[in-house]
Amino acid sequence: MTTTAYDFSLVNTYFHISPGGVEHVLDEMPATGFFQADRLEEMMRKAGKVVQAVDLKLPGSFIGTSLCNLSITKLIFLAMYGEVLELPLSNLTFQIDYEEGHGHPHFGYRIHEVRTQPIPAEDGDAFVAEDWKRFMMEDVTPAVAAIAAASGMKPEQIWAQFGGIAAMVVDYVQKMGLPAAIMERFEHHFRLLSEAVPSEAFQRKRNPFQWQVRHVDNPYQEGERWVMRSGCCQYDRREGGTKCFVCPRMTPDEREQEVRRIKAAAIS
């Protein structure tokens, strides 16, 4: 068991990122393997087979958005500890976590060495913003491009999902009842991530964490609302697959039809 002075329980539970790695390894490779197309495609095919994907777009989508999870992990550490967690791909092993009979696979990372940097007292925001810029330019953006190419997608199909994923995390964190100081740091550093990192770092016209949050009514709980995804996760690209209820591609008529189906199933 890997021990550390930092608490990874939250990010391990939701993002499968920790020094100890995942529990049920279906396959793994150095995260720098994203740039080895043959090996990456092999990982995608293994994950796709588990969920009966019709092509590589579904596993490619989830592998691509695991990079958003890395970003959110850095954000959470900024909020919890006021420190920058270093997560270059060279310090990570990418892992597929899957236990037979337990639904779909998860995609996570084992951190080889936990390295952090304190935020300097002077020009702290500039220091953090520069770290974000470097992380995106050197690690995330090239990896998004490589994953998109290997899966037959455009990079934008991966980037488009980052805003919604981040919004879901923000929504969850706001409901956790965290100490005020942690919430203040979380909100401050999310603003830095979404506003201070230039679009060029992502090789797109806009920072992907800038997204106008949209909601839909929870069909299972009256009065509760869910955050919509900002981009399609490709979950319907499997045998017999359907769109997620929070998919932005789902039309109002399709969503209403799904609501009726859910309510009918609850009665029967």
Query: Where in the chain are the domains?
Result: 9-211
Residues written for the chain: 268
User: Above 50 in pLDDT, residue 1?
Assistant: no
Give CA–CA dist 172/47, Å, rounded.
27
What's the pLDDT score for residue 4? 66
Give CA–CA dist 222/149, Å, rounded.
42
User: Above 80 in pLDDT, residue 268?
Assistant: no
CA atoms within 13 A on the CB side of 93: 16
Choose the weakest-confidence range: 2-6, 132-136, 203-207: 2-6
What is the reported pTM?
A: 0.94
Choose the weakest-confidence range: 15-19, 136-140, 147-151, 171-175: 171-175
How would you class 81 by CB atoms within 10 Å of its CB: exposed for 0-12, middle for 13-18, buried for 19 or more?
A: middle
Report the 10 Å Cβ neighbour count for 110.
20
User: Above 50 in pLDDT, residue 145?
Assistant: yes
Indicate the pLDDT class of residue 215, thresholds 50, 70 and 90: very high
Mean pLDDT over each residue of the chain, to the nearest integer: 95
pLDDT digits (tens, 9 = 90+) for 54-106: 999 999 999 999 999 999 999 999 999 999 999 999 999 999 999 887 778 99
Instruction: Summarize the confidence of residues 177-191 as an average pLDDT.
Output: 96
DSSP category for residue 238: B
